[in-house]
């Protein structure tokens, strides 16, 4: 049954290119969603659009405990970014003076996640009409990237169908041997310090939000984090102030905290809150004037969590990868699977196959060589989990 992936390689690639060229910035996925929905409809599936714009499809009856195969619709690129796909031998519009090499296809979003959507549709076609298909729900999600904050997947796993799911597989990376079974959690905050402002000479001595921010940032920078579970922090954006000879009225920073462990993330959030308060107090103590308390506004929250290595889903993924003579590896990443794991549904992220690199950059490219291998892996996992005896175990 899985031989067809090699025979259909050109059609799968054509579908991937077609989807890639329909722009789908986070929050503006509807055109691409239409294209995915009609591809699923052409397989005779029952296709719905949920309240946030996810495309959800299943066979004649909705399975009792669905196996959900998924890919995300959105890209990190804005509406003005060209996503035309440059083919082998063409001048590469994304790299000056370069010709696209043999077998490579260059465009922003060509792999992440146009390759994921193409893989989902190829598997849906291959399994169409088989007993396994009756257990599967296909889901193309919105809002996976950046400030989308897993909006589509969260909505899916807040729904009754999502919570009933037996397993969730999102197709969202390039490494054919890797199983993402750990979700890296992240919390993001906009931290703001405020004062009255004033003239740098005439009002010297007033509370200076820039100094308060600097003191808080220094305190955060000194924080020691554990490497196991891996935990990191970053100040990615700093802004505020008007001109060099004025005390700023405002200074703010955007902070990104990440960890494989939910409790380490809780602890890191406490550290950040303490650092902000300490920076504020430090500046207050140095100046002659009081100021508003600093604010800390959440701008992102992705849950952390793990699907254990001995879970049936991870085990099935291992066997499927081994059957392609590859050695499976378990890794951590931040994907739609985080939302499933947080809802108690076993979840992994798997490869879209082929070779690809430079995701989230205009220099992104994809080479379909060996894509069939990863499509067989996805199909095998679904077929194995859909066996009636597997359900009993
Ligand atoms: Zn992705």
Q: How far is the CA of 145 from the centre of ligand 1 (A)?
A: 7
Position 233 scores a pLDDT of 97
152 within 8 A of 30, measured Cβ to Cβ: no
Question: Is residue 283 over pLDDT 90?
Answer: yes
Position 289 scores a pLDDT of 86
Question: Is residue 391 over pLDDT 60?
Answer: no
Residue 389 binned pLDDT confidence (cut-offs 50, 70, 90)? low
- 220 by Cβ neighbours in 10 Å (0-12 / 13-18 / 19+) ranks as buried
Pairwise CA distance, residues 368 & 375, whole Å: 11
- 388 by Cβ neighbours in 10 Å (0-12 / 13-18 / 19+) ranks as exposed
- Give the residue-averaged pLDDT of 192-217: 97
Position 378 scores a pLDDT of 98
Q: How far is the CA of 184 from the centre of ligand 1 (A)?
A: 14
Pairwise CA distance, residues 386 & 116, whole Å: 21
- 336 by Cβ neighbours in 10 Å (0-12 / 13-18 / 19+) ranks as buried
Q: How far is the CA of 356 from the centre of ligand 1 (A)?
A: 12
Pairwise CA distance, residues 149 & 139, whole Å: 17
Q: What is the pLDDT of residues 329-372, one digit of tens each?
A: 999 999 999 999 999 999 999 999 999 999 999 999 999 999 99
58 within 8 A of 137, measured Cβ to Cβ: yes
Dihedral angle, C-alpha 318, 321, 325, 329, nearest 10 °: -60
Q: How far is the CA of 173 from the centre of ligand 1 (A)?
A: 7
Spans of all domains in the chain: 4-183+304-392, 185-302
Pairwise CA distance, residues 303 & 259, whole Å: 9
Q: How far is the CA of 174 from the centre of ligand 1 (A)?
A: 10
- Give the residue-averaged pLDDT of 168-173: 98
Residue 245 binned pLDDT confidence (cut-offs 50, 70, 90)? very high
Q: How far is the CA of 6 from the centre of ligand 1 (A)?
A: 24
Q: How far is the CA of 143 from the centre of ligand 1 (A)?
A: 10
CB atoms under 10 Å from CB of 349, counted, come to 29
Q: What is the pLDDT of residues 302-334, one digit of tens each?
A: 999 999 999 999 999 999 999 999 999 999 999
Counting residues of the chain whose pLDDT is more than 70, the rounded percentage is 99
Give CA angle at 55 (54, 57), nearest 5°.
140
Strand partners, 330: 179
- Give the residue-averaged pLDDT of 176-184: 96
Does 4-183+304-392 carry CATH code 3.40.630.10?
yes
Dihedral angle, C-alpha 147, 152, 157, 162, nearest 10 °: -160
Pairwise CA distance, residues 311 & 319, whole Å: 12
Question: Is residue 103 over pLDDT 50?
Answer: yes
Closest CA to 275 of 202, 340, 352, 191: 191
Q: What is the mean pLDDT of the chain?
A: 95
Residues 6 or more apart whose CB falls under 8 angstroms from that of 28 comprise 74, 79
Position 192 scores a pLDDT of 98
Q: How far is the CA of 333 from the centre of ligand 1 (A)?
A: 10
Sheet holding 250-259, edge to edge: 231-240, 250-259, 185-194, 295-302
Position 166 scores a pLDDT of 97
CB atoms under 10 Å from CB of 340, counted, come to 32
Q: What is the pLDDT of residues 114-160, one digit of tens each?
A: 999 999 999 999 999 999 999 999 999 999 998 788 999 999 999 99
Q: How far is the CA of 258 from the centre of ligand 1 (A)?
A: 17
Q: How far is the CA of 392 from the centre of ligand 1 (A)?
A: 33
Say what the pTM is.
0.86
Domain 185-302 belongs to what architecture?
2-Layer Sandwich (3.30)
Sign of CA pseudo-dihedral 94, 95, 99, 101: negative
Q: What is the pLDDT of residues 68-93, one digit of tens each?
A: 999 999 999 999 999 999 999 999 99
Q: How far is the CA of 290 from the centre of ligand 1 (A)?
A: 46
Q: How far is the CA of 353 from the centre of ligand 1 (A)?
A: 13
Closest CA to 36 of 25, 22, 26: 22
Q: How far is the CA of 75 from the centre of ligand 1 (A)?
A: 7
């Amino acid at each position: 049954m899985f031989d067809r992936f090699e025979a259909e390689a050109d059609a799968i690639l054509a579908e991937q290119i077609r989807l890639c060229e329909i722009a789908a910035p986070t929050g503006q996925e509807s055109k691409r969603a239409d294209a995915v929905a009609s591809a699923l409809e052409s397989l005779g599936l029952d296709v719905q659009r949920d309240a946030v714009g996810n495309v959800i499809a299943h066979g004649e009856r909705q399975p009792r405990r669905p196996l959900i195969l998924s890919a995300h619709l959105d890209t990190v690129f804005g509406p003005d970014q060209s996503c035309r796909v440059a083919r082998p031998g063409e001048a590469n519009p994304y790299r000056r003076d370069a010709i696209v090499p043999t077998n490579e296809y260059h465009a922003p979003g060509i792999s992440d996640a146009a390759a994921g959507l193409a893989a989902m549709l190829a598997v849906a076609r291959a399994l169409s009409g088989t007993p396994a298909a009756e257990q599967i729900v296909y889901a193309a999600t919105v809002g996976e990237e950046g400030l989308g904050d897993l909006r589509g997947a969260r909505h899916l796993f807040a729904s009754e169908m999502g919570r009933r799911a037996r397993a969730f597989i999102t197709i969202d990376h390039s490494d054919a041997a890797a199983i993402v079974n750990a979700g890296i959690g992240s919390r993001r905050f906009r931290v703001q310090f405020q004062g009255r402002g004033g003239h740098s000479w005439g009002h010297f001595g007033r509370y200076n939000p820039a100094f308060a921010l600097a003191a808080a940032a220094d305190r955060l920078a000194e924080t020691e984090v554990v490497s196991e579970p891996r935990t990191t922090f970053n100040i990615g954006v700093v802004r505020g102030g008007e001109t060099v000879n004025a005390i700023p009225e405002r200074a703010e920073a955007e902070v990104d905290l990440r960890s494989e462990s939910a409790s380490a993330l809780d602890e890191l959030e406490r550290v950040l809150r303490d650092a902000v308060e300490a920076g504020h107090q430090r500046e207050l103590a140095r100046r002659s004037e009081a100021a508003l308390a600093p604010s800390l506004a959440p701008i992102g929250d992705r849950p952390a969590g793990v699907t254990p290595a001995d879970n049936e889903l991870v085990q099935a993924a291992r066997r499927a990868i081994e059957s392609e003579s590859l050695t499976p590896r378990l890794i951590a990443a931040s994907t739609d699977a985080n939302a499933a794991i947080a809802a108690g549904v076993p979840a992994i992220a798997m490869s879209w196959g082929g070779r690809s690199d430079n995701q989230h950059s205009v220099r992104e490219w994809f080479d379909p060589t060996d894509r069939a291998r990863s499509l067989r892996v996805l199909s095998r996992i679904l077929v194995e989990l859909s066996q009636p005896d597997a359900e009993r175990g």
